[in-house]
Amino acid sequence: MIGGQAGLAGHITVGDNVKIQGQSGVISSVKDNMIIQGTPAFSYNAYNKSYVCFKNLPDFAKEVNQIKKKLDL
């Protein structure tokens, strides 16, 4: 199954029972039974974990700047 606005590039092989989430960019072959997402596409579970960090980056940056000010860096 391939979600909407997903793109596949080059001569790649997509295995059986693969799920490609929408707006993903697949640039290499995909093994059987994988669920992938992202650009470039990678494991769905890893994508979700990294997205949690990504959406919290502004808060992390703010905390780092506060620590730097306290340390006078």
Q: Where are the domains of the chain?
A: 7-71
- Taking residues 48-68, report their average pLDDT: 95
Q: pLDDT tens across 14-33, in order?
A: 999 999 999 999 999 999 99
> Of the candidates 30, 31, 28, 48, which has an alpha carbon nearest to the alpha carbon of residue 40?
28
| pLDDT surpasses 90 at 72 | no
Q: Which residues have C-beta within 8 Å of that of residue 47, sequence separation ≥ 6?
A: 21, 36, 37, 38
So what's the pLDDT on residue 73? 72
Distance between CA 57 and CA 53 in Å, rounded?
6
Average pLDDT, the chain: 96
Mean pLDDT of 49-66: 95
Q: How far is 5 from 10, CA to CA, in rounded Å?
A: 17
